[in-house]
Chains A and B, each alone.
Chain A
Amino acid sequence: MSAPVPGKNAEIEALAAKEYEWGFVTAIEEDRIPKGLSEAVIGLISAKKEEPAWLLEWRLKAFATWRGMKEPTWARVRYPPIDYQEITYYAAPKRQADGPRSLDEVDPQLLATYEKLGIPLHEREVLAGVAVDAVFDSVSVATTFKSKLADLGIVFCSFSEAVREHPDLVRRYLGTVVPRNDNFFAALNSAVFSDGSFVYIPKGVRCPMELSTYFRINAANTGQFERTLIVADEGASVSYLEGCTAPKRDENQLHAAVVELVALDDAQIKYSTVQNWYPGDAQGRGGIYNFVTKRGACRGRRSKISWTQVETGSAITWKYPSCILQGDDSIGEFYSVALTNNYQQADTGTKMIHIGRRTRSTIISKGISAGHGQNTYRGAVKVLPGADGARNYSQCDSLLMSATCGAHTFPYLDVKNPTARIEHEASTSRIGEDQIFYLKQRGLGEEDAVNLIVNGFCKEVFRELPMEFAVEAQKLLSVSLEGAVG
């Protein structure tokens, strides 16, 4: 962005000042490495993070693969070409002192949104980037959680910490679900990933809390190339929530994260995402490109992986949380609400690969398009020859809220076993005028009526979210659809 010419235009200056107030600050020069991507830059990232040699080698191999790959073009999204040499691939975590010192310094509009979403007060401060030492009690909350988890043998830490403290675990599972040559963005992530989370739940342990609660407070500054690895050992179970309903300030336009889940015998992983990154303005300028590779492997018998996502943010969303149902009797689930308003584009869905016997999968996808939004469901169900008795049910519904938006459904079903039963249903329609009329004559305003209908439309997905997030997600939809009706 070019700096405004100093002078008469008071409005521009006010705007510029406001942005500073938000805390869009550049990190101090010493903490950055030069723009662009090369083996030297990867070496530097690895060195700064004090990584072992095997990981550096892994990154370099991924980089070599990435260089030979082409950016995929099959998704139904449009964006100007990305210059990968113009991106800075490493920035040290921002210094807290540069952020606003208290909520009084934070943009009131942002605060109003937090208010609407009903976010707890101390969390608002963290989300708005208020320096942590100014936030009362959040640190102690985190510390309490951490000791409780450690007592059970649960490993839950940043990815860098895991590389240092638990190298064997990381090495055993890293890249086994999403190989480093999987796709263009996964390869890029493998080469330059910044940080992320690592979770290991030991045999037979049920994680006593939603890891979300802790995560929400600690998730700041994981960077634009996030890497998450969650392993649930035999009989273990965990529920994990990524992201949050609150709009988060972020200065990186390109996000290419990789999430890998591994569930062994009888293990269960529930992974919920609420994504509300900057979607660009009403004219479609700016906004985050969210190109994510998420995949879970049900390695063990009777294991279960469940993905739930509420996608309302980002200018472009390109993600397909998938399940490889390898173990006999394993279960994969995908519940999704994707909302596109203004000029947002979403191409999202899932892939269920049935390998083991009697594997089951459920896909429930709800797409909502408003404004000029383009919303695409793209999903694949594959049943391999050995998957006797495999069962899949898919339902993809789209709700249209304007004459200028688009809703598209592209399912792929490939079945190589005659004992499999696969069902796919999709419907597209707009909110019925008679429904709105009915609610209005019961005394609801038009906007409330639409919110009620939209939330009813998404109910099957919200039911899968941890309770407190389900409540926030409902409010989030209302906020995201503001002005889309009438």
Chain B
Amino acid sequence: MPNLVTEANAFLADFERREQEEAGRAPGWLLEVRREAMRAFLDQGFPTRRDEEWIYTDVTPLRRHRFPLAPRTSTRPATLAPQRFALGLDRGPRLVFLNGRFEPTLSRTGALPEGTELGPLAEALTRTGAADGPGAVLGTLAAAARHPFVALNTAFLADGLWLRLPPGACVDDPIQAIFLAEPRGEPSAAHPRLLLDLGAGARAVVVERYGLECVGALGEVGGLTNTVLEARLGAGAALEVVRVQREGGAEHHLGFTAARLARDARFTQVAVTLGGALCRHETHVDLAEPGAACDLSGLYALAGREHADHHTVVRHAAPRCTSRQLYKGVLAGRSIGAFTGRVIVEADAQQTAAEQANHNLLLSPEALAETRPQLEIHADDVKCSHGATIGQLDDEALFYLRTRGLDAAAAGHLLVHAFADEVIERAAEERVRAGLAALLAARLDLAPGAGGRR
């Protein structure tokens, strides 16, 4: 077995080099946060499949290669068109990041409610101290000490999204944060961080988009995107995050989303994972005060040898909170789709309503679905349920469609689309739904085997 410490040290060398480069530029408190995180990463090392939380995801590929920080580039590809990643959203704030760095020429913020702070995190961090602005959110929901890749993200913290909405502020148009990997030769890493702080009664929709902008030839080994989002919702605030991941190819993607909800706050997430060599997304929601509600939904459509692992942890810590989860997988080729969802109801959290469902459609004989829906309940006045299914397209439904004149392939497509549509419908914004539907249509039509097996 390879030496874990040595492998983690590959990141350490990079960390130290960067620290020297940036000496004097980052504020002292931030340097200390990063150092602490680096220590936490070295302490934890890479998880292995023996670790119960990682039994479905083997991170060996991340241990086998070095992923230095992507080099700072002064030129951007002239062909790069952020509209391609805009889900059809032609107005509203848009921040574009290339290899983890803010790209001002492609970004715009537009008019925002008074008192709103929206912009690149790097800039916001240099302006503020450890206890105000983004510093007050950073690391409070995603703790470096408890997760190796959160630690790694924090250690290499450079840029990302910073959004603060004052109480009652409402941003009508979805805020887009587009993160593009632009590989140049050797595999490299980006560690974007998104910090969202919504005051009481504030409302926003954030579209979090990950993609690959390929100019040159792709290497055999893809790069690494290791992202962390922390969202703090004040009383009665409402936040919707639409997360679209489509680096594809040989890319590795690790994502960690954490949200804490105050009284009567509402958090909605629609996570659409469209593939990469290795994708993992964790969502941790803390329903901390009475009446908070969250709605998590996810869709993973995979083909080839792609692997996607979704984890959710919803903690009901206060009475009268509700949570709803719906994750769906469409698996073709030799792809692997895994889901682990945990609902924890603490002793005080009476009158909890929690439901969770995971449904998987296997479209090829070599695809694999793994699912672990988990309930951990310490209160008694609760209504909790979970359900999981793994199966294939319904023969009778296919037969019915064929009697109506559709050929086998078209009937299959129709059923797969109907299956996937349920997740997309959870997004509130109509333009976003249309954008997701188009994206999904393109993806599913590429997936071989959809209905074509019979």
Contact = CB atoms under 8 A, between A and B. Distances in A.
Contact of B376 (A401, A405, A408, A422): A408
Interface string A402-438: 1111111111111111111111111111100000000
B384 A429 contact: yes
Nearest to A398: B377
Contact of A414 (B368, B378, B382, B386): B368
A410 B374 contact: yes
Nearest to B373: A411
A408 B387 contact: no
Nearest to A429: B383
Given A412-B372, A423-B389, A428 B367 contact: no
Nearest to A425: B387
B132 interface: no
A415 B375 contact: no
B382 A403 contact: no
Contacts of A426: 373, 375, 385-387
B380 A402 contact: yes
Contacts of A401: 380
Interface stretch (B79-87, B258-266, B356-364, B438-446): B356-364
A418 B392 contact: yes
Interface residues of A, number: 35
A409 B388 contact: no
B379 A415 contact: no
B27 interface: no
A385 interface: yes
B370 interface: yes
B368 to A, nearest CB: 5
B186 interface: no
A422 B391 contact: yes
B391 A428 contact: no
A401 B379 CA distance: 10
Interface string B321-355: 00000000000000000000000000100100000
Nearest to B350: A403
Nearest to B381: A430
A74 interface: yes
A352 interface: no
Contacts of A423: 387-389
A112 B353 CA distance: 42
B52 interface: yes
A400 interface: yes
A408 B370 CA distance: 19
Nearest to A76: B376
Contact of B374 (A402, A408, A415, A418): A408
B375 A408 contact: yes
B312 interface: no
A77 to B, nearest CB: 14
Nearest to A380: B372
Contacts of B138: none
A428 B384 contact: yes
B390 A421 contact: yes
A297 to B, nearest CB: 24
B99 interface: no
A188 B386 CA distance: 36
Contacts of B372: 410-413
A37 B134 CA distance: 59
A383 B388 CA distance: 15
B270 interface: no
B219 interface: no
B378 A428 contact: no
Nearest to B376: A408
B452 interface: no
Range class of the B interface residue count: 35 or more
B368 A416 contact: yes
A407 B377 contact: yes
Contact of A411 (B366, B378, B388): B388
B380 A420 contact: no
Contacts of A428: 375, 377, 382-385
A404 B374 contact: no
B388 A419 contact: no
A408 B372 CA distance: 13
Contacts of B388: 411, 413, 422-424
B364 to A, nearest CB: 6
B88 interface: no
Nearest to A421: B391
Contacts of B392: 418-419, 421
A402 B350 CA distance: 11
Contacts of A421: 389-392
B389 A422 contact: yes
Nearest to A415: B390
Interface string A364-407: 00000000000000000001010000000000001011111111
A400 B384 CA distance: 11
A369 to B, nearest CB: 8
Contacts of A409: 373-375, 386
Contacts of A383: 390
Interface string A211-230: 00000000000000000000
Contacts of A408: 374-377
Contact of A404 (B347, B367, B371): B347
B365 interface: yes
B158 to A, nearest CB: 38
Contacts of A403: 347, 350, 379-381
B369 interface: yes
Interface in B31-84: 52
Contacts of B376: 406, 408
Nearest to B331: A418
Interface in A117-153: none
Given A74-B52, A419-B392, A430 B373 contact: no
B80 to A, nearest CB: 39
B443 to A, nearest CB: 19
A421 B381 CA distance: 33
Nearest to B365: A418
A406 B378 contact: yes
A424 B52 contact: no
A398 B343 CA distance: 14
A430 B382 contact: yes
Contacts of B347: 403-404
A405 B370 contact: no
Contact of A407 (B364, B369, B375, B389): B375
Nearest to A407: B377
Interface in B274-301: none
A409 B377 CA distance: 9
Given A400-B377, A426-B375, A415 B386 contact: no
Given A404-B347, A407-B375, A413-B372, 11 more contacts: A385-B366, A405-B378, A407-B377, A413-B388, A419-B365, A421-B390, A423-B389, A426-B385, A426-B386, A428-B377, A428-B383
The 6 closest A-B pairs by CB, nearest first: A418-B362, A400-B380, A422-B390, A428-B384, A409-B375, A424-B388
22 contacts: A400-B377, A401-B380, A404-B347, A408-B375, A409-B375, A409-B386, A413-B369, A415-B362, A418-B364, A419-B392, A420-B390, A420-B391, A422-B391, A424-B386, A424-B388, A425-B386, A426-B385, A427-B384, A428-B382, A428-B384, A429-B383, A430-B382
